[in-house]
Amino acid sequence: MFLYDNRVPNEHSYVDIPLTFDYLGAGKKARLKNMDFTKIPDFDSLPEVKDMPRGCAWGIFDKDGKKDLLGTLNFLTQDVVKGACAEARDGVSVSLNWPLNAMGFPLPGRIHPTHKQMTLKEAGLSEGAGWDDEIHFNTQLSSQWDSLVHWHHQPTGLAYNGIEVTKEGLAAAKTADNKMPTLDHWHATGGLVARGVLIDFKEWAEKKARAEGKMGDDAIVHPLDGHRITVDEIEAVAKDQGVEFRPGDVLIVRTGLTEHLQAPTPEDFAKLQNQNISGVHGTVESAKWLWNKRFSAVAGDAWAFEALPPLKEDGSVSSHLELVLHPWLLAMFGMSIGELWDLRALSAHCKASGRYSFMLTSAPLNIPGLVGSPPNALAIF
């Protein structure tokens, strides 16, 4: 049935999406039971949003006059989640979480975690034997989700769905009172449960290099050489791995970066000075493809998911202020980005089993106004 009219912030156009839903229980938001994904407009057919470029998805998921705060997480309907659960059949789980203290060198503006352990007696809690601890850390220094407020549409300064983010808004005491599109809203719909698909670019590219007769260092694809992974390459890897994408999937791309950052060599440090970091090619064409595939989120082990530094349309190097995928995904689509995930063990298991799709679960921290969070992600086979 038509649950509601999805109206973009433009009185001249709107999109109807056939939807049905069930409630998760008292105090919980609805998770859509199913969705006709063919009714979701492709990038070039998204209704016009006043003063915004073509391809802006603001308003697509709004209902009952309320601004949506979840973005493409809405693609995780009950039917999609059921399909994801069917991937868990071997009894194997793999953690995708890099240690909080894994970054092997300091970063300006990002504090390293401090972990304080104390006895219950020292904490003034009990005379009995036992321990407590406290952790102080930056949510962006290790494996993370970027929420939809982390990077805005820079010309307007607006976040996803045209929301103006303020410190006062982020300071809401309860998620129910939080009108900002932050990660704590995930919990009301049961967190992220999706079909994950690993695109093991590093493994594929090195296999390709060996097949071309390259040997030794020439056959190594280094994540600090700044390779820009194109859509054609992603599709070639998927074909080689024997996987097809489905609506609601989480796309996970491996470059091998976290494996170098945890214990960087002098060569790694030298490469870091150039700030050329591999990732998905940051172009509007890449953004179009990601939206049109109906991914619920994207993630990887790269620094920013997209390659750094960003490039201008003429191919010249630009500054971080002109990132391409961050504003399109986070601000325009409402598609969260996972960065610095630990994918080494996942790569090894996928290669050994021949399976590159799996059930993916993720439960970010549960605190109002959460801008970033460790993903607490598991791949389940």
Look up the CATH number of the domain holding residue 247: 3.50.30
| pLDDT for the residue numbered 104 | 81
**Has this prediction a pTM greater than 0.85?**
yes
In the numeric block, the tokens 């109807």 are attached to 16
Whether 292 is in a domain gets the answer yes
Reading the block at residue 364, the tokens are 């970010």
**Does residue 23 lie within any of the structural domains?**
no
Cα-Cα-Cα-Cα torsion 217, 220, 225, 229, nearest 10 degrees, comes to: 150
The answer to whether residue 1 is domain-embedded is no
Q: Where are the beta strands (DSSP E) in the chain?
A: 5-7, 14-16, 19-23, 30-35, 93-95, 114-119, 131-136, 144-146, 192-199, 228-229, 250-253, 279-280, 297-300, 336-339, 357-362, 372-373, 377-380
Question: DSSP string spanning 61-119?
Answer: T-BTTB--SSGGGGG--HHHHHHHHTT--S--EEE----TT---S-BTTBPPPEEEEEE
Q: Answer yes or no: is 20 within a domain.
A: no
pLDDT at 131: 97
- H/E element holding 130? none
Torsion region of 5: left, alpha or beta (phi above 0 gives left; psi -120 to 50 gives alpha): beta
- Looking up tokens 């280094």 gives 222
Question: What 3-state class would DSSP assign to 315?
Answer: coil
The pLDDT score that the predictor gives to residue 269 is 87
The answer to whether position 204 is within a domain reads yes
pLDDT at site 28: 54
pLDDT for 20 equals: 47
Domain carrying residue 181: 80-100+142-380
Rounded (5°) CA angle 54-59-60: 80
pLDDT of residue 263: 84
The answer to whether residue 238 sits within a structural domain is yes
**Rounded mean pLDDT for each run of 10 residues along the chain, 381 residues in total:** 35 46 48 85 97 97 95 97 98 98 90 97 96 97 98 98 98 98 98 99 97 92 96 99 98 97 88 92 98 99 98 91 98 99 99 98 99 99 99
Residues 6+ apart with CB under 8 A from 267: none
Question: Rounded to whole angstroms, how far apart are CA atoms 167 and 145?
Answer: 20
For residue 7, the model assigns a pLDDT of: 38
Give the count of domains, the chain. Answer: 1
Phi-psi region of 354 (alpha: psi -120 to 50; beta: other; left: phi over 0): left
Task: Name 168's Cβ contacts closer than 8 Å, sequence gap at least 6.
Answer: none
* Residue-level pLDDT at 22: 47
What is the distance of C-alpha 126 from the center of its chain? 42
Whose structure tokens read 């003034």? 124
Flag whether 208 is in a domain: yes
Answer yes or no: is 37 within a domain: no
Distance CA 294, CA 191 (A): 18
